[in-house]
Each structure stands twice: as C-alpha cells, then as structure tokens.
C-alpha cells in the first residue's frame, strides 16, 4: 500500500481517518463479473492507498455477492490496514423480518454479512436508509447494541434527511455511541446536501462520505461519443440511457474545457470539486477497471480551486440548463 498516494482526512470529530478517494463495491463486484477483474481492481485500490471499502448487504447481483467476493479477495494480512463497511435496511429475504430497520432485521442481516465477508466485525455499519415505520429510538438503540457487542466499531446513516440525522446524532450521543458518518449522494449534478445537511453534520461532528460523485459515470468523458456497450448506461439497471441528456452532455463538454486548463480530466475535476469542502471526508467512487480507479485517485493531485474556476463551473451548469 502506498500511503503517500493520497491524503487521509478525519471523519467528523472522530479518531478515524479515511482516504480522500474510497472504493465502493456496488457495481463490478457481483457474480456476473470475472473474479480476476474484481481482484485486479481491489489490488489496484490497495496499491493506491485506498484503505476504505464501501459495501452493503444487497450489493451484487445476486444479493450478498459483493460481500462474498470481498471476503474471498481481501488478503487477511491487511485486515488491520483497511476500513470495511456494510449496510442494512433494504430487502434481503422474504417476510416481515427481511427488510427495514427493526432490531430483528438489522441483527440478522449484519450477522449474515459478517459470514459472507469472513470477518468478526465491520469497521462501519450503516443504516442504508431511514425507516419511518420503526421508531428512531429502536433504530439507534440497535446501532448502539451492534457496537457494544463488537459487531461494528462505528456506525453511520445513509440517505437520512437533515432533520432525522440531527435527531439520530442526538439520540446516539445520549447512548454513548457517536454517529460517525452520513453517506449521501453528492456530485456536480446533485448538490442537495449543500442546502442544510452539510451544516447539520458539521454541527454534530459527523463525517460525510459521499456516493456517486461521478453521477454513476455521467461526469466523465464516457458518454461524449454515444453509449459504449460496456457502460453502466448500456447495462441500464441503475443508470438508464435517458439520463444521458443533451444538457448533461453540454455540461460535460464545458467541464472538459475547464478541466483541461487545470491539467485534469472531467472525472478528476468532478472528484476534486466534491472534495473542495473540508466537511466532505471522502468521495466513494466505483470503477469498472483498475485504470479508471488509478485515473480517479489522481484527482487528489489538484484539489484546490480558485473562486473564478468555481464560478465558471456554476456558470457552465446554468448555461447547460442544469442549475439556477
């Protein structure tokens, strides 16, 4: 592992440092992809100083496949050099206990995750989403229990509203288990967290690990000449071709000019932009090849922006009809 390759940032007011660029295993680590390719991406990540791997019980397909692959591929000698996360909440099996944030479901799904990961504990366990049908007190008491029973070192929430995040942080603090981190979506195409979530996280000392900072690949040069057959938009499961709109393409072309002037690719500019705010601890990228990952980590070579550059990015979004 090359620990000089990228900066490690403090996650909120905790003792935990995370790399500026982290790897997510949502796509590219399922049973449909060759194991050698998955191994190559994982080893490249480790070479690049990526110490933080984001997984969830559902990631695959099939459900659980990403955890099983990671469990198989992580060299055991590196266990204490990496941060492994998983999440629970989304449907995993039939019946009333197969989903949601009840104590009943969360304990069972994490125990199944640990078996697939071949680990005794995860470093961070997340509630993948809020569950309005389960009292928040029960949700956070379960997180506290997971830490106290050694199944997780830290806990986080994902896709929670600013108000529910503040409530969860307060309740967890009372229990003595701080809320480590929130995991929201954030990119140049989705700036919602700037409105109030980032302020709430700062106030409560909670870190922010953002997902889909490249908008699943839209904020790269991937789609400038059509939809490649091996792309996520061609696969069409979570990113559909209709999201590759003329407005998005116009924005990306404008970004390409701005990125070129900084000596960066569009993807590198998009990642550096998401990291410009020190309240963002880490960007969680996906990669379908080791080359993509290597190129993305190079974003950290130029994280500073001038006020003029930021204004030009905002103007380009507006010009493309994507903002204000």
Ligand X SMILES: NC(=O)c1ccc[n+]([C@@H]2O[C@H](COP(=O)([O-])OP(=O)(O)OC[C@H]3O[C@@H](n4cnc5c(N)ncnc54)[C@H](OP(=O)(O)O)[C@@H]3O)[C@@H](O)[C@H]2O)c1
Q: Which residues bind ligand X (CB under 6 A)?
A: 24-27, 54, 128, 158-159, 183, 211-217, 220, 222, 231-232, 267, 284-288, 292, 295-296
Q: What is the DSSP string of 18-66?
A: EESEEEE-SSS-STTS-HHHHHHHHHHHHHTT--EEE--TT-SSSTTHH
Is the Cβ of residue 51 or residue 176 nearer to ligand X in the bound state? 51
In the complex, minimum distance from the CB of residue 128 to ligand X, in angstroms, rounded to a whole number = 6
Q: Measured from the CB atom, is 91 or 148 closer to ligand X?
A: 91
User: How far, in Å, are 18, 63, 205, 215, 310 from residue 259 at the CA level?
Assistant: 26, 38, 32, 17, 11
Identity of the residue, 157 or 172, whose beta carbon is nearer to ligand X in the bound complex? 157
When the beta carbons of 149 and 240 are compared against ligand X, the nearer one is 240
In whole angstroms, the minimum distance from the beta carbon of 70 to ligand X comes to 11
Torsion of CA 274, 24, 82, 193, to 10 degrees: 30
- In the bound complex, what is the minimum distance in angstroms from residue 20's beta carbon to ligand X? 14
Q: Smallest gap, in angstroms, from Cβ of residue 307 to ligand X?
A: 26
**Cβ 72 to ligand X, closest distance in Å?**
18
Closest CB to ligand X among residues 174, 242 = 242
Residue for token pair 């967290």: 193
Toward ligand X, which CB reaches closer, 124 or 166? 124
Q: How far is the CB of 204 from ligand X (least distance, A)?
A: 19
Neighbour-count burial for 240-275, b at 16+ CB within 10 Å, e otherwise? eeebbeeebebbbebbbebbeeeebbbbbbbbbbbb
């Amino acid at each position: 592992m090359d620990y000089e390759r990228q900066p490690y940032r403090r996650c909120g007011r905790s003792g935990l440092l995370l790399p500026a660029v982290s790897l997510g295993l949502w796509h590219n680590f399922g049973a449909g992809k060759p194991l050698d390719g998955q191994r190559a991406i994982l080893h490249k990540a480790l070479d690049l100083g990526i110490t933080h791997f984001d997984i969830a019980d559902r990631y695959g397909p099939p459900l659980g496949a990403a955890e099983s692959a990671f469990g198989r591929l992580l060299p055991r000698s590196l266990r204490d050099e990496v941060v492994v996360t998983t999440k629970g909440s989304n449907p995993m099996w039939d019946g009333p206990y197969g989903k949601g944030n009840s104590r009943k479901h969360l304990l069972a799904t994490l125990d199944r995750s640990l078996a697939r990961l071949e680990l005794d504990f995860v470093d961070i366990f997340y509630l993948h989403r809020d569950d309005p049908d389960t009292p928040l007190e029960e949700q956070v008491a379960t997180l506290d229990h997971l830490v106290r029973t050694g199944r997780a070192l830290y806990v986080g929430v994902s896709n929670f509203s600013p108000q529910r995040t503040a409530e969860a942080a307060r309740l967890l603090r009372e229990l003595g288990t701080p809320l480590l981190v929130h995991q929201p979506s954030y990119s140049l195409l989705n700036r919602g967290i700037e409105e109030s979530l980032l302020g709430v996280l700062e106030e409560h000392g909670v870190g922010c690990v953002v997902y889909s900072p490249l908008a699943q690949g839209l904020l790269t040069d991937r789609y400038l000449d059509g939809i490649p057959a091996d792309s996520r938009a061609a696969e069409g499961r979570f990113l559909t071709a209709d999201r590759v709109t003329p407005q998005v393409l116009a924005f990306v072309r404008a970004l390409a000019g701005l990125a070129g002037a900084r000596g960066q690719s569009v993807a590198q500019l998009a990642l550096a932009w998401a990291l410009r705010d020190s309240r963002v601890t880490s960007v969680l990228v996906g990669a379908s090849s080791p080359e993509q990952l290597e190129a993305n980590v190079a974003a950290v070579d130029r994280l500073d922006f001038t006020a003029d550059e930021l204004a030009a990015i905002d103007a380009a979004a507006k010009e493309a009809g994507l903002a204000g």
